[in-house]
Structure formats: C-alpha cells, structure tokens
Structure 1
Amino acid sequence: MTPFFVAIFLLGLSSLATAANFNQVYEWPEELNYEWPSEESRARALADVTFKPAKLYPIYMAVYESRIFFSLYRYNRYIPATLVSLPTSSASSAPPLLTPFPSLEMNGEKNCNQIGEATGLQVDSVGRLWVLDGGSKKCNSKLWTIDLKNNDQTKLVHEFSFQKWTHDLVLDETPNGTFAYIALWVKKHIVVFSLEKNESWTVETPDIMVYSIALSPKTDQEPRQLYIGKYNSTELYSISVDTLRNGNLTANPELVGNWTAIDSYSMVMDNQGTMFTAFSRKNFLSSWKTSQPFQEQRFHEVAGLEYVWPFTFTFDQSGTLWMTVFDDKSKPRCRLLKAAVGAKSSQASPDGASGKEEYVAERRILIDSSVFFVFLLAFAIL
C-alpha cells in the first residue's frame, strides 16, 4: 500500500467518523393527524372538506425544551391549523397527534386575528417562539411571538403592508435591539424588522431572487453575515447585517460559491459556523463550514425520496439536530429523526455548545481508531 493510498483511505474513514448518527424518534406510516377537540369535530371537518389528512406535511420546525413546533404547508382550505406542536418524547410507541398551537381557534383564515399561514419559525434567547405568518388573501402578513416560558402567551408583534409570499426568517439579537430578516418567495429583496422600533423596511437585492436565508453565528471578531440562496440557481450569496440594520434600502450581495444542486429551499446554521442546506426534489443534505473557503460536503442522504421538500430540520439548545424526512410516495410517509451533534442553533454563543466536549471526544476516539486501523492494515500489506 502506497503512502498516497493510505492517506486517501484515512481521509475517507475520517469523513465517516464525523458523520451524524440519526436515531428515529417517531414515524407516521400513513397521514399525519391533529389532536381534535372531539371526534365529532374531526368528522365534521372531513365531511365539509375543510380537512384532508393527506395534505398535512411539515415545512418548517423549531424545538424548545420538551416541545417541537411545526409549520405545515397550507393547501388552500384543507389545513385547519398550520402551526402545531408535539412532544420530543413519548411513553407510547404510537406516533403523536399534532396539537394545534397555541390553539385551534388561533389558527385559521376566518379573521385577521388568527394565524393564517405559519411559515418561518425561530426561538429567541428568552424562550419566545417567533412565527412568520403569511396571512391570507384578505389579511396582511404578520409577525407573532409566543412566550413559551409564560403559559404560551401570544402577541401580535407587527403587521406588514403585504400579503402572502412569506418564506422564512432569522433573528439577529444585538445589544442595541432585535432584528428579524425575512425572505419572501422569489422576491428581489429582504424584509427587515426592528423589534424596538416596531418598524419594517425593504432592502433590495438587485437581480437576485431570494429563496432561502441563514445567519452566521455571533462572534466578537466580525459582523454577522446573512446568507442568501438564489431561486432557480446554484448560487449562494452573503450580505453583512450592518447593511441591513442601518436602514439601507439597497444591498449588493457578494457571491460565495455554487452548490451542486439548484434551489436551496432551506438553510440552517449552527453556532459553530456550519451551514446545512436542503434542495428542492433532492434526497440529500449538504453542509459547508463557513470559516473556510466554500466547499460543499454531503452531510446526509436518504435513498428514494421523491417529494418536492423532503427535509425539515433545526437545532435545539442542547446540541441536537432534529429532522423530518417526508416522502409522499412511500411508507412510512413521515419520520422524525434526531442526532447528537454537539452544536446548537446559531442564536447561541459558539463557545457554549452543550455537549460539545463529549461530541469532540467521541470523534477523536473514532478518528484515532481509524488511524490505528489504517496503519495496521498498511503494515500487514507491506
């Protein structure tokens, strides 16, 4: 065995050693379903076609302590509640029902005081769930906060001047205030919201249709970067958040690199600076360590997926990556997975990742074992 072959073999083993080990939490063999107030209310919704179980699937998620929150893609009037919750664990082996959150009455399109279409979800540092609400044909888009530490008290934070088209949001908590950066479907701008001023404004991104966004971690060394995935393109861009916070009405995103697939519909950043990306109609997740020059890595792959948005994923505050895998063409239809990766949401400090030391130690053991195996094999061959 040549030294070159040994090096290549070692590199391959090291890559395998750092891959996440996902464990299944729940699986839904058939359609997802709500927790209804009564069987009569469920039967009535089925009869008047305001509920179609086959149309339920998650597209965004957030995790806080013992609860997971999903926003469900809205198929017209078939979805009574687009914001739901479920427990992170259960004593029962049966998959849990989805609980409309904060209640069934707070979801819907009957009036503009309801959550019409939950899209992006984020949990801030004080335990508030931020909900981006697309509204409806007659109601403007909105921002809600739900205080998860205080009996789920719900507050309408801001109403925008536009309707629908909301896609995702990220939160930027600073000593001078909290900002939300919001992506709209295939629009050539970013919407910025200042919590302290209760104001929102539009920052144009000339020639770049925004599809997905992610925010770099908090550091003392350099300003945070907002990353933008361009619609119908492999291109990834970045903007300094200083440009967005200062009230500028135009930004000039800089090209970072090109993914191997088009349409990165979801991008999530951990607090160690690694970005994870899912692509429309692709059966894999990619990653990139943003502290290094752009280089895409294949993070996770599931054979045979056919759905348009197969993955929903997020980090919690204890070093766990949560993910749903959805496939409308096979069974189980939906699975909830988790992996201990030692990194948190990008909202957390890079130095405070719970479980980080344990995860690094496990990786070191695996890599050291790989090195020993390679040298043992090389010695035997020689």
Structure 2
Amino acid sequence: MTPFFVAIFLLGFSSLVTAANFTQVYEWPNELDYEWPSEESRAHALADGTFNPLKIHPRYLAVYGTRLFLTLFKEDGVPVTLVSLPTSSASSTPPKFTPFPSWDFHLNGSGNCDKIQQAEGMEVDSDGRLWVLDQGNSDSNCSSKLWIFNLNNNETELIHRFSFDEYFHDLVLDETANGTFAYVARWMESHVVVFSLERNESWIVHTPEVQVNSIALSFKDQEPRQLYLGRSGYQELYSIPVAALHNGNRTTEPRLIENWAAHNSYRMLMDNHGTLYSAFMYENYTSTWNTSQPFLEQPFHQVAEVRSSWPLTFAFDQNGTFWTAAYNDVRIPKFRLLKASVGAKSYIFEASPESRE
C-alpha cells in the first residue's frame, strides 16, 4: 500500500461515520469482577493475591443465544480465563463474569492438567458447541488442549490434547461434507495446526517465512475456499487454499494478497457474505474488505481513544448482530460492550438466497 493511500485512508477515519449503528450494551467503569461462590472466597483470593480485579483483560469474544463468552488474559491475579455473561440485563449495573462451565474447571488449575489453564481463541459452531483453545502450562508440563463444550447442556463433549504447549492464538471452523475441521493459529509460528473432529487427530502444515498472527476462513459460497493469514509484525495479508491443508503435504506456500494500512492484524473474522473484518494492535478501529472484489480496505467502526495493545475484539451472533468489546489499559471506562445489527452472520453459516442475488 503506498504512503499516499495510507494517508488518504487514515484521513477518512478522522471524519469517520461508522458503517453500522452501534449501541452500548454494558460499560464497566473501572474494576472487572467474577461471580464468586461466596464473599469469603473472594476476600481470601484478594488477600493471597490470586485475584486482582485490575488485572482482568478480555481478549476473545463469542456469542450464542442469550450468552456471551469471553476469554481473559492469563497473569497473576486472574484465576479464571473463560467466562460468560448475559447478552442483556434489566439492571443498569454491568454483570459480573460467571466462570464457564463452572468454578471447578478453573480453581487450582495451575499444575492440574485436567483444568483449563489459559483459554485463548474460541468459536461457536452451527450445532451450538463452543470450541476453546487452551494454551496449557509449560511450567507444569500441561500440553495445549482443545475443549469442545455443548452449550445446550454445558457438558464437555471432547478434549483434544496437542503434542505441544503455548503460543496458541485463534481458530476457525470448517464444516464440510467430509467432517469438521479446526484451523489454528499460534503466535509467531510459521505454520497452521489442523484438527479433524471425526478422527480426533491434529497435524501441522508449515507456512515458510510467514509467521501467522490472525486467521480467518472464507465464506461458504467462495470456491475454492481460502484461509486468510495476517502476518505477525507486518501489514501483509496472505491466503492459502483450504485444500492444501488436507492433501497430505505438510508445507504450503501462502500467497500475498495486499497490505493493510496498519501493522499486526491480531483478530480477523469473515461474515457469510464474504466481508473480512480485522482489528490491529494499538489501533482503535476495525477495517473491512469485501473479498468478492479486488482488495480495498474500508473503515467499519472506530471507538474513542483507547490505550491498549489489544483494544478491540468482536464476534457475530446467530441473528445478524455484530458484537464488539473495547478495552482500555488506563482510561475510564475500562471495558465496554457494544452491538450493531449488520444483516450478516458468521462465515459458519451459508448466505441467504437474497444476498446472492
């Protein structure tokens, strides 16, 4: 992207009228907190340092029915990294985070490899199952895992243990006639991890010289389907054909598409009409590209000034609503949740007949 185009693009943001009408759902003025089993347990956690409300930092977002799911950055003072909250409330007080599926999946998790160590990227499939990446814990020799929860009864359907730990980032789901697959990005690793649900098996496909940051899967009407990769530390956007992940080869060469205006696309998401959304580290806006047309980055949504390396995250629900969360390290409010009706769903779903006309 030329310097001239970047200047024009950013100038457009300075007078941006958002492409969708966002409304605020919740606002947390300062501290974030959990629904604790008791006040005594909360007080004990505060006293021994296992809980520090100022350390809670939401990272990934998913929505299903009347529940939102958040994963939280893991550090000292954050005892639970996978939580839920309602999509609406009659109270003006923002809800506290409810550990998901329960406290028992998290308490004393450090060193217990059967607990959730550090939840990262997640996705809801078309059957109402929540897929959650678990970073694992190298200090305790706990390998990385993939959890699959049935959201209709909150039961665990599957736990897949990988042969490595750490550097997990995000995932996308590919529901095909030949089975369901997850494609996983790991921070700054030059490969994609592929998981087959039916075979309960995973393998690595290398992407030489392209360290993967963000990841997105093309919408179902696009053939051949493409996996989009944002390169770590750079502006570059790449793609690889999904077929390359299944043909038995363990290496594929990503194709450069174009450059985003900003560096470090850390979160991408495709809708079921072929629009790709992206958020960038230290930037307070979201961009889009209509993948049915030649690359042209467009502004989608901008929030007030934020100070965070990871200020925005987003997800679709099943009713055509785009949800986004905005986080500030130092400014007030600390955390906000917003939504907008956009008439599109996740790439998981097929486009409506009307949208194809």
TM above 0.5, yes or no, is yes
Partner residue in 1 for 2:196: 194
Tell me, in whole angstroms, the C-alpha distance in 1 between the residues paired with 2:128 and 2:303: 33
Partner residue in 1 for 2:301: 300
Tell me, in whole angstroms, the C-alpha distance in 2 between the residues paired with 1:280 and 1:127: 30
Partner residue in 2 for 1:281: 282
Partner residue in 1 for 2:9: none
Q: Which amino acid aligns with 1:249?
A: R
Q: How does 1:92-107 map to 2 (within 5 A)?
A: 92-107=91-106
Partner residue in 2 for 1:61: 61
Tell me, in whole angstroms, the C-alpha distance in 1 between the residues paired with 2:99 and 2:165: 23
Q: Which amino acid aligns with 1:333?
A: K
Secondary structure of 2:103's aligned partner: coil
Q: Which amino acid aligns with 1:225?
A: Q
Structure 2: state its 5+ residue gaps: 1-11
Secondary structure of 2:105's aligned partner: coil
Deviation at 1:110, TM superposition (A): 3.6
Secondary structure of 1:350's aligned partner: coil
Relative to structure 1, the CA distance from residue 209 to residue 239 in structure 2 (aligned partners, 3 Å threshold; closer, same or farther) is: same
Question: How many pairs align?
Answer: 340
Secondary structure of 2:84's aligned partner: strand
Tell me, in whole angstroms, the C-alpha distance in 2 between the residues paired with 1:18 and 1:113: 44
Partner residue in 2 for 1:217: 219
Partner residue in 2 for 1:244: 245
From 145, 149, 152, give the equivalent of 1:146.
149
Secondary structure of 2:243's aligned partner: helix
CA contact (8 A) 1:201 1:247 kept: no
Tell me, in whole angstroms, the C-alpha distance in 2 between the residues paired with 1:247 and 1:114: 33
Q: How does 1:106-117 map to 2 (within 5 A)?
A: 106-107=105-106, 108-117=109-118
Deviation at 1:224, TM superposition (A): 1.3
CA contact (8 A) 1:80 1:104 kept: no
Tell me, in whole angstroms, the C-alpha distance in 2 between the residues paired with 1:117 and 1:346: 26
Deviations along 1:118-175, whole A, 9 cap, x unmatched?
A: 10110111110001111112200001111011x2001343100001110000000001
Deviation at 1:73, TM superposition (A): 0.8
Tell me, in whole angstroms, the C-alpha distance in 2 between the residues paired with 1:152 and 1:68: 14
Between Structure 1 and Structure 2, whose CA radius of gyration is higher?
A: 1
CA-based RMSD of the aligned residues comes to 1.8
Q: Which amino acid aligns with 1:271?
A: N
Deviation at 1:71, TM superposition (A): 0.5
Relative to structure 1, the CA distance from residue 70 to residue 18 in structure 2 (aligned partners, 3 Å threshold; closer, same or farther) is: closer
Partner residue in 2 for 1:135: 136
Deviations along 1:58-86, whole A, 9 cap, x unmatched?
A: 110110000000000111x3211100000
Q: Which amino acid aligns with 2:161?
A: E
Q: Which amino acid aligns with 1:319?
A: G
Deviations along 1:227-261, whole A, 9 cap, x unmatched?
A: 00001100000011011122320011100110011
Between Structure 1 and Structure 2, which shows a larger proportion of helix residues?
Answer: 1
Q: How does 1:1-382 map to 2 (within 5 A)?
A: 19-75=19-75, 77-107=76-106, 108-137=109-138, 138-149=141-152, 151-219=153-221, 222-351=223-352
Deviations along 1:323-344, whole A, 9 cap, x unmatched?
A: 1111122111100000000000
Deviation at 1:352, TM superposition (A): 6.5
- Greater CA drift, 179-188 or 246-255: 246-255
Relative to structure 1, the CA distance from residue 352 to residue 38 in structure 2 (aligned partners, 3 Å threshold; closer, same or farther) is: farther
Tell me, in whole angstroms, the C-alpha distance in 2 between the residues paired with 1:87 and 1:255: 40
Percentage identity across paired residues of the two chains? 59
Tell me, in whole angstroms, the C-alpha distance in 2 between the residues paired with 1:62 and 1:223: 27
Deviation at 1:17, TM superposition (A): 8.3
Deviation at 1:100, TM superposition (A): 0.3
